Structure 1
């Protein structure tokens, strides 16, 4: 299962190069240029390899590891930078304090990682029709997988930077007009339109989760496409569309809540009943991908086997205080200095930070794929608990409080951990009060899962909430991140900067 996506042998054209390596804006990055060698398409197995390369980018350091943690979590009120002051050239301090600039590491790496992903997906979408020796049904499914992944990469980009270049095909190296498009920002409304089209197409062509065999577990499914579509529609305040897409997931019979919240983050529940989509760890390739995700957030203190983590992305005191008494999700979200964990690992009482991210923790002794430094644990991207909260929020905004409460209270019921008298059902039906209850629930249910900052922005309260936590958030500026300066230089000014940077 874990080695599913480790096939990259055809990809000389997909060497991970950032645009900044180019000497001229007229020299497009290799993942965006058309393949001229027809021999590639004579081998049917290469069709799947095109799409496997799209998945492989999910494991890139620039995609889900250090810089993504900085942009999506350390910026929020759920997390502090962690580690110790000044570590890693102050980049994560800058993210924590909103003092980053157009030359900062995190915005640059996240831009590069996601656009490489977009380029790989374009290669797959454009080239799969050339595999006439592959059954049409398989080609259609593979195109749908690539469209799902392109939508995912673009969703990250549009949330981070707003207007970005809309690159939806591979280009001929001699077509100047097309190459100019690589370095021209399109309105975010056009980016969202592409995302919605891609996810709608994908949902119509992908199989349901249970239809995949063991060898294909972890590939994109109809439920994953519908779930991400529901989330995108929520961001766009298309309430009816968000309800429709999330309803399809809920009524599909393919998903349910994992009874024990803390078990969601163990290897034993990977791709389980609650999972819509995960980044798949790869045997022998954990290193700086999924393993790096865990290691950068592991406690910076001696544990039972004497191995130290980096200690970044430490859950904040504000997050700890957000949990109601008896909420089992707190223990399934953070662990503490002096604590003995489920696998016997002991966190030093003198650890550099008081709290660490439980959801990223991978056991060095009790979980598989241990290679001496890292464990190979999947990164959870989208799960059923979030789908219920999307459904609740959209229903409330659409004037359907009864429907909203039904979905919301399913999530709260699990958080009781089987204990009566704690976390009572929410009963309020006034729209504003129910909205607040749903937003509070979303925070504690999805804490440290890389949504909180983006949630605060879309809810229009990022400045108020983050300044109250001592962060230097400036309204009209920090809702998005700077376009990397090296990209602007390479484009010779065709890429414009976001306001305030």
Structure 2
């Protein structure tokens, strides 16, 4: 994506957007009117939304607290005494007052506020109408993504379709169904405007394929299998393909490749990079050593699955790129997330380790698995098997032996686990598919409570009771 200086804009957004409980400060009309005046302002404001995708809140600790550690494929990592408070997320003992619960909440609302700044203010600017429509579509697509994060982690949340005319952000939560319908509306609207591709200068901006791909995933969560199937078929027809080299897929050279549907540009710039790779890097050698693969994940790979050794980075191994892995902390865990690994020769030392590593939010492999799962639920086992086997073939595995709907369902869910390992889908997948109560029982998971996280207690207090807490908290 073309690098646009957004420092002043970011400061403006931080000072002019939310009620405290949503991290959205009351808006001053003059501030917005004075900024949103030119076409360049419109582009910069939209670019500021993208900067949040690689932020600490969206890609490092807060996101791992809620999407990573609660799953059975991710451990806290590092050494036992380092950040031991994270064990609360592994053992489901966190409370509504925990910083991680609040950090992810406030971060996502900050991002929603950036989207709504664009959606409410760009229409007033005299500028190229085609570009204006595209920027508004980008903001809607990204707003849908942030709301998708919120609804999966916290359940129903307040809905803000733009900046409220009365500037009142203290409103009740909507139901999960209402939030999902809002997300779907945004994604459909965005998909009708966004282009399929961009020039090199704008690489990394969301596309029609990204909007439809995310939409197919949303339909899967709603168990609307027909729409998940139809929408994923639209994406399949767009020309995406699997990267034939699973290792290449997660290296710098594989960024924005044929498998990339929705990917965050994290290239180091004057504003810094992302800490996504740094917090997961080999402890004492490349990074901090957190959020590491579990023995349960390792056991989930079939014999002969090449993804196992390309997902799990081990102390003492030599990587395909020639780095000898040498953990620098004798008390540290000895395995790490290889998908977040950046070879030493490619590291940009002007930012932190691995700051160049893009974040893959949605890959074509997942679109194939969404299509397979939806097809199977619709009774179309032939298509389900075909698309499941495309993913397995890339992993050097034989075709599935599953033939019944029940067996195929289990096979597809297992394939999602190993294909998307360490990418932030396992916990919400377990909840979505009803497997969490059995798979996570030994960790302390309580069905009907831990399916979602608590609304932060500070948010409840600051709303004066307008926000209602989730059951069990």
Hey, what does 1:238 align to over in structure 2?
Answer: 224
Hey, what does 2:256 align to over in structure 1?
Answer: 271
1:476 aligns with 2:455: no
Evaluate the alpha carbon distance shift between residue 372 and residue 247 of structure 1 in structure 2; reply closer, same or farther with a 3 A threshold.
closer
Distance (whole Å) between structure 1 residues aligned to residue 75 and residue 341 of structure 2:
17
Hey, what does 2:80 align to over in structure 1?
Answer: 85
Hey, what does 2:236 align to over in structure 1?
Answer: 250
Of 197, 204, 209, the match for 2:192 = 204
Residue 293 of structure 1 and its aligned partner are, at CA, apart by: 1.2
Give CA-to-partner distance per residue, 1:439-487, whole Å, 9 cap, x none.
11111000000000000000011010012xx301111110001111111
Of 105, 109, 121, the match for 1:111 = 105
Distance (whole Å) between structure 2 residues aligned to residue 286 and residue 328 of structure 1:
37
* Mapping of residues 66-145 of structure 1, within 5 Å: 66-88=61-83, 90-132=84-126, 134-145=127-138
Evaluate the alpha carbon distance shift between residue 285 and residue 70 of structure 1 in structure 2; reply closer, same or farther with a 3 A threshold.
farther
Distance (whole Å) between structure 2 residues aligned to residue 18 and residue 83 of structure 1:
36
Hey, what does 2:282 align to over in structure 1?
Answer: 299
Residue 278 of structure 1 and its aligned partner are, at CA, apart by: 1.3
Distance (whole Å) between structure 2 residues aligned to residue 28 and residue 114 of structure 1:
9
Any gaps of 5 or more consecutive residues in structure 2?
A: none
Distance (whole Å) between structure 2 residues aligned to residue 396 and residue 296 of structure 1:
38
> How many residues are treated as equivalent by the alignment?
470
Distance (whole Å) between structure 1 residues aligned to residue 16 and residue 308 of structure 2:
40
Contact 2:301-2:308 at 8 Å conserved across structures = yes
Distance (whole Å) between structure 2 residues aligned to residue 85 and residue 115 of structure 1:
32
Distance (whole Å) between structure 1 residues aligned to residue 309 and residue 5 of structure 2:
34
Give CA-to-partner distance per residue, 1:239-259, whole Å, 9 cap, x none.
011011110110112x11000
Contact 2:70-2:89 at 8 Å conserved across structures = yes
- SS, match of residue 352 in structure 1: coil
Contact 1:274-1:384 at 8 Å conserved across structures = yes
Residue 106 of structure 1 and its aligned partner are, at CA, apart by: 1.6
Hey, what does 2:147 align to over in structure 1?
Answer: 154
Hey, what does 1:419 align to over in structure 2?
Answer: none
1:217 aligns with 2:195: no
Hey, what does 2:52 align to over in structure 1?
Answer: 57
Distance (whole Å) between structure 1 residues aligned to residue 156 and residue 360 of structure 2:
27
Evaluate the alpha carbon distance shift between residue 110 and residue 131 of structure 1 in structure 2; reply closer, same or farther with a 3 A threshold.
same
Hey, what does 1:283 align to over in structure 2?
Answer: 268
Distance (whole Å) between structure 2 residues aligned to residue 360 and residue 135 of structure 1:
39
Hey, what does 2:467 align to over in structure 1?
Answer: 495
- SS, match of residue 335 in structure 1: strand
Of 339, 346, 365, the match for 1:367 = 346
Distance (whole Å) between structure 2 residues aligned to residue 397 and residue 426 of structure 1:
17
Of 385, 393, 415, the match for 2:373 = 393
* Mapping of residues 336-415 of structure 1, within 5 Å: 336-348=314-326, 350=330, 352-363=332-343, 365-371=344-350, 373-375=352-354, 376-415=356-395
Residue 35 of structure 1 and its aligned partner are, at CA, apart by: 5.3
TM-score, with structure 2 as normaliser = 0.94
Residue 110 of structure 1 and its aligned partner are, at CA, apart by: 0.8
Evaluate the alpha carbon distance shift between residue 113 and residue 498 of structure 1 in structure 2; reply closer, same or farther with a 3 A threshold.
same
1:170 aligns with 2:163: yes
Contact 1:67-1:106 at 8 Å conserved across structures = yes
Residue 67 of structure 1 and its aligned partner are, at CA, apart by: 1.4
Evaluate the alpha carbon distance shift between residue 28 and residue 366 of structure 1 in structure 2; reply closer, same or farther with a 3 A threshold.
closer
- SS, match of residue 332 in structure 1: helix
Distance (whole Å) between structure 2 residues aligned to residue 429 and residue 34 of structure 1:
61
Hey, what does 2:415 align to over in structure 1?
Answer: 441
Contact 2:7-2:271 at 8 Å conserved across structures = no
Residue 351 of structure 1 and its aligned partner are, at CA, apart by: 6.3
Distance (whole Å) between structure 2 residues aligned to residue 283 and residue 400 of structure 1:
45
Distance (whole Å) between structure 2 residues aligned to residue 129 and residue 121 of structure 1:
13
TM-score, with structure 1 as normaliser = 0.89
Any gaps of 5 or more consecutive residues in structure 1?
A: 417-422
